[in-house]
Structure 1
Amino acid sequence: MPWTASSDGLRLAVRLTPRGGRDAIDGVDILSDGKAVLKVRVRAAPSEGEANAALIALIARELGVSRAAVTLATGATSRVKLLAIAGDASALAARLEAACGPR
């Protein structure tokens, strides 16, 4: 799974596709190095942090947490990012599994 529990919530590995036509979670993917990531697409362009802001808004909405609970830990200018999500790790993981399920 692309997420791991941490002391204050979850860490979530994401592969972001900006200008993806819609804001959506496309499921889990395995990168060439074997790392699991959550595939996410957003309509926003990758300029001036717009795509990162759209990613945070989408993840917060899907998990039912505030935008302030979702922070970009690493990868501000990379396609592969690590998000820190504050909250109850088991509840957040259950919501992520539901979001990754069949659509």
Structure 2
Amino acid sequence: MKLTIKVKPNNKKPGLEFVSESECIAKLKSPPVDGKANEELIVQLAKHFRIPKSNVEIVSGLSSKTKVVSILGID
């Protein structure tokens, strides 16, 4: 499964908001520094889908606010 995610770092109320089956807005507490926001995004997605963090991979947009994430084990 692939998701397009718009990331909003430095947010006071973290969480995931699904716009559609393949689009999501991720509000993260972490700043976009040293990959901290990317790590928090992976943790949030793994918790949401109840899968290991290793099944979540950022395919593109590592340094962008819009990312494409691949989630293994979810169809």
The alignment's TM-score, normalised by the length of structure 1, stands at 0.67
1:3-55 Cα offsets, whole Å, 9 max, x none, are xxxxxxx01100000011132012317xxxxxx73111010010000000000
Shift of 1:88: 3.6
CA distance in structure 2 between the partners assigned to 1:84 and 1:39 by the alignment: 15
Structure-1 residue corresponding to 2:9: 18
Q: Calculate percent identity across the aligned residue pairs.
A: 22
Q: Please give the alpha-carbon distance, in whole angstroms, between the structure 2 residues aligned to 1:73 and 1:11.
A: 9
What's the counterpart of residue 28 of structure 2? 42
Which structure 2 residues correspond to residues 43-82 of structure 1 after superposition, within 5 A?
Answer: 43-82=29-68
Runs of 4+ in 1 over 4 A off after TM superposition: none
Larger radius of gyration, structure 1 or 2? 1
Structure 1 alignment gaps of length 5 or more: 1-9, 30-35, 90-103
Scaled by the length of structure 2, the TM-score of the pair is 0.91
Point out the structure with the larger helix share.
1
- What RMSD over aligned residues (CA atoms) do the two structures have, in Å? 1.4
Whichever residue aligns with residue 79 of structure 1, its letter is: K
SS of alignment partner, residue 53 of structure 1: helix
Ranges in structure 2 where 5+ consecutive residues have no aligned partner? none
| Counterpart residue identity of residue 49, structure 2 | L
